[in-house]
Amino acid sequence: MIRIRGLGKQFKGRQVLRDINLDIQEGQVVSIIGPSGAGKSTLLRCINLLEVPSEGEMAVDGKPVHYKTNAKGKLTILSHIRLSWLRTDVGMVFQQFHLWPDKTVLDNITEGPRIVQKVPKLVAEARARGLLEKVGLADKMNEYPTSLSGGQQQRVAIARALAMQPKVILFDEPTSALDPELVHEVLEIMVQLAGEGMTMVVVTHEMNFARNVSDRVLFMEEGRITRDGRPDELFGQPSPRMAQFLRSLNPITEPRGVSVHENRYQSV
């Protein structure tokens, strides 16, 4: 579904991604973990060209993503039509939800399909209602985002991503901005999506999600992927740097190997 070769990214001459090589298969759930500043968000943002890579090749669903920039770093080769195809295939869910505050929940979800995919209004609305039911928010259809809790807003953002019927969804720390008691309601939706076979790439600090839900975990540090494997392999034998990272996430409980959210996802 995603193929990346030799991807690099510099910001003002500073190298923040180096030689990223990655193949993600259809239906795979891949968690990306690692310290702040490692380049996790930049990698996700490069995949759908929210950031333009400095070098390297990418393909999504077998289609090469051609990009080229001018001296100012603006995209020049990929046309807007191609870009909207890419953004249709590759959904994104952000830490800060990024819902449109002046649109109702329903309009937030129908906007993309109607504008980008030219889906008729009634069809888009029927699709949105189905998705709101799926995320447990059918009764919030006509509300505005500000009247919802963070967990509800993030569930709307997931419904909005799904409305485009993407081939893969990228999640950038989808639960990091939430009050702890709201984290589970978003994770439950993600677990459900994973079970349905959605291809997902998830930057997360929720180690129980990484450990129990994903098929594969990547550890990033200093712009590189330094570990890549099954969760049991990585968590069973972390590199010294990864062990240090895991301890830093949960300094009080980690020595016993138990984290505060442990019991929530034991069943998955």
Q: Give the residues lining the site for ligand ADP (CB under 6 A).
A: 11, 16, 34, 36-42
Nearer to Mg ion, 42 or 153 (CB): 42
147 Cβ contact list (under 8 Å, min separation 6): none
The residue with its CB nearest to Mg ion is 41
Query: What residues form DSSP beta bridges with 135?
Result: none
Q: Which of 201, 215, 116 is nearest to 165 (CA)?
A: 116
Burial of 78: CB neighbours in 10 Å, binned 0-12, 13-18, 19+? middle
d(CA 116, CA 164): 9
In whole angstroms, the minimum distance from the beta carbon of 132 to ligand ADP comes to 30
Nearer to ligand ADP, 87 or 224 (CB): 224
Residues in the chain: 268
Q: Which of 267, 116, 142, 110 is nearest to 195 (CA)?
A: 267
Nearer to ligand ADP, 32 or 169 (CB): 32
Quick one: what does residue 231 bind among Mg ion, ligand ADP, none, with the CB cut-off 5 to 8 Å set by partner type? none
In whole angstroms, the minimum distance from the beta carbon of 98 to ligand ADP comes to 16
CB 23 within 8 A of CB 201: no
Binding Mg ion (rule: CB under 5 A), the pick from 31, 41, 153, 250 is 41
In whole angstroms, the minimum distance from the beta carbon of 73 to ligand ADP comes to 10
In whole angstroms, the minimum distance from the beta carbon of 221 to ligand ADP comes to 9
Nearer to Mg ion, 41 or 175 (CB): 41
Q: Contact residues for Mg ion (CB under 5 A)? A: 41
